[in-house]
Amino acid sequence: MKKNRDSSTLTVGLTFDLRDEYLKMGFSDEETAEFDREGTIAAIEETLAGLGYRTDRIGHIWNLVSRLGQGDRWDIVFNIAEGLYGAGREAQVPALLDAYQIPYVFSGPLVLALTLDKAMTKVIVKDAGVATPEHCVVRNTDDISKINLPYPLFAKPVAEGTGKGINAQSVIRDPKQLTRICSMLLEKYRQPVLVETYLSGREFTAGIVGTGELARCVGVIEIILKDNAEEGVYSYVNKEECEERIFYSQTDKAASDACTSLALKAWRTLRCEDGGRVDIRFDGQGKAHFLEVNPLAGMHPEHSDLPILSTLHGITYNELMKMIMDSAILKIKKPVHEESAPGY
């Protein structure tokens, strides 16, 4: 490992799952929805080079294993690999890097394993006093009859992203629909289903940069569905075709302040690092509730929510990347496991 931590001499490895690679392997569009486009990797690479870093494309975890076995090392790894298999799929790359004592950008394996499970995440933030919809977890069809929450409800896979498993039918109006949708999700995604109280209010996402007490909100945007969008939900189709179906907007100060406060409390409670997003929805009375956190947020300059909201708040992609990297470099100088580290 190099000892010099000046950005002009740092080599940054890039770990990621490239969508086109998996499509060529025979995986479907939906199965690869969370993976990155070539344009995302190129933009990250170009921006890091502009910030004075040397970059080295590694790719998916199998490439990382091979490169480590060959003796390759990096000063820091910019990790956006989502993984493919297992409940800890997002945690696999940082756990491997920890074993080799190689620093990385974004959260560690504990955070990534926890936050992939939306139900467990809700338990943690609720215990910290963060408002979140009441929920149940359906692990098999027998659990469906045990749900005792008022309708309407909302159902989605417990450990997916990019709106996978979410469409207009995810808003549950009656027991018959609940049984049908939960059974379908259990069979299709082979994982538990999160069923929670449906919130009828406005939907937002808040961008966070930094770690612990140094974390700050870089902006809040409201997610407004256009007339041609799937109704009532920020669904897989709506996200995939966001340019045509979604209007992203800055919002009023009261809503922005409420979202900022909630997002920062959730971010710090979960010990997320460097950058990401917190998704928020209001109930019918206008109270903000935590939906989920994305500690591996998409980084496509025009298509991903975090860069979109940053741009709407006057923060360029270059500036966003610099803030994220500055946070990560600070962790090298002062490891997050130290007792005095921010947020611990």
pLDDT value of residue 1? 36
If asked whether residues 210 and 175 sit together in one domain, one would say: no
CA distances from 141 to 19, 179, 184, 262, 266 (A): 33, 8, 10, 34, 31
If asked whether residues 88 and 74 sit together in one domain, one would say: yes
Residue 114 lies in a domain: no
Residues near 216 by beta carbon (within 8 Å), at least 6 away in sequence: 208, 209, 210, 264
Gap between the Cα atoms of 125 and 134, Å rounded:
12
For residue 71, give the CATH number of its domain: 3.40.50.20
For residue 178, give the CATH number of its domain: 3.30.1490.20
Mean pLDDT of all residues belonging to the chain? 92
Residue 113 lies in a domain: no
For residue 227, give the CATH number of its domain: 3.30.470.20
pLDDT value of residue 227? 85
Residue 150 belongs to domain spanning: 134-197
Which among 175, 197, 219 is the end of a domain?
197
If asked whether residues 251 and 281 sit together in one domain, one would say: yes
- Strand 153-157's sheet: what is its strand order? 135-138, 193-197, 153-157, 171-172
The answer to whether the beta carbons of residues 53 and 9 sit under 8 Å apart is no
Residue 1 lies in a domain: no
How many domains, the chain?
Answer: 3
How far, rounded to the nearest angstrom, does the alpha carbon of residue 188 sit from its chain's CA centroid? 22
Question: Confidence class of residue 239 from pLDDT cuts 50, 70 and 90?
Answer: confident
* Res. 64: pLDDT tops 60: yes
If asked whether residues 15 and 50 sit together in one domain, one would say: yes
Q: What are the tens digits of pLDDT across the range 285-326?
A: 999 999 999 999 999 999 999 999 999 999 999 999 999 999
Residues near 320 by beta carbon (within 8 Å), at least 6 away in sequence: 209, 218, 275, 306, 307, 310
Which among 154, 175, 197 is the end of a domain?
197
Average pLDDT over residues 142-154: 96
Q: What are the tens digits of pLDDT across the range 198-229?
A: 999 999 999 999 999 999 999 999 999 888 88
Residue 87 lies in a domain: yes
* Res. 4: pLDDT tops 70: no
What is this structure's pTM? 0.90
Residue 192 lies in a domain: yes
pLDDT value of residue 233? 82
- H or E stretch at 17: none
